[in-house]
Chains A and B, each alone.
Chain A
Amino acid sequence: AQSVTQLDSQVPVFEEAPVELRCNYSSSVSVYLFWYVQYPNQGLQLLLKYLSGSTLVKGINGFEAEFNKSQTSFHLRKPSVHISDTAEYFCVARGSARQLTFGSGTQLTVLP
């Protein structure tokens, strides 16, 4: 079974600064990895996903993530954040079964 650990529960950052949200996973089998974002009062929206191939994955809104198998990490990055990026971000894993395994979430707060 997979487990997902998000190392930071809250990340405050100033507007236009870079940000990295950290995620580690554990799995004994092949894993698919996702980042979802939840804006206030909205559903969970897919930012990006890693299935196989290139380890650098680009998503919507300028986000990208790098899959690192040796470190079992899938950190999310953005070079310059906006106020509108304030949201909760979830790192999610999926194995051969369809059920998704969620991390505990990271609240990103972008400060003016």
Chain B
Amino acid sequence: EPEVTQTPSHQVTQMGQEVILRCVPISNHLYFYWYRQILGQKVEFLVSFYNNEISEKSEIFDDQFSVERPDGSNFTLKIRSTKLEDSAMYFCASSEGTGAAETQYFGPGTRLLVL
């Protein structure tokens, strides 16, 4: 069964450094998403991406974040200058784009720790 994959599974970085989290969505899916879960808090929506542009974003998704689909398979989340509060589990998801009945399929997550 096709699945969403994410790399790396864990990343440790120093505050102020740039990180890139990578995702490979399911191949025929058209919408891509990033969510995050800070330890002890709810899973929160960050951004959705369709047709090579952002379709929705939350208040969390400020100028330090960016997303990109650099090729036909990868979908990346870049955090330009990491802060301690960016430590979280980051989930990538994808969906077919068929409408309300569709399911978002999630990857296993990348645990980011900012020191």
A binding-site residues for B, Cβ under 8 Å: 32, 34, 36, 41-46, 49, 51, 90, 94, 97-105
Contacts and interface: CB of A to CB of B under 8 A. Distances in A.
Contact of B43 (A32, A51, A90): A90
Contacts of A51: 100-101
Given A45-B106, A51-B101, A100 B42 contact: no
Contact of B56 (A44, A49, A97): A97
A102 B103 contact: no
A58 B106 CA distance: 21
Interface residues of B, number: 26
A99 B103 contact: no
A101 B4 CA distance: 20
Nearest to A44: B106
Interface of B: 3-4, 31, 33, 35, 41-45, 48, 55-56, 58, 91, 93, 95, 100-101, 103-109
Given A46-B103, A51-B101, A97-B56, A41 B108 contact: yes
Contacts of B42: 102-105
Given A100-B45, A102-B43, A43 B3 contact: yes
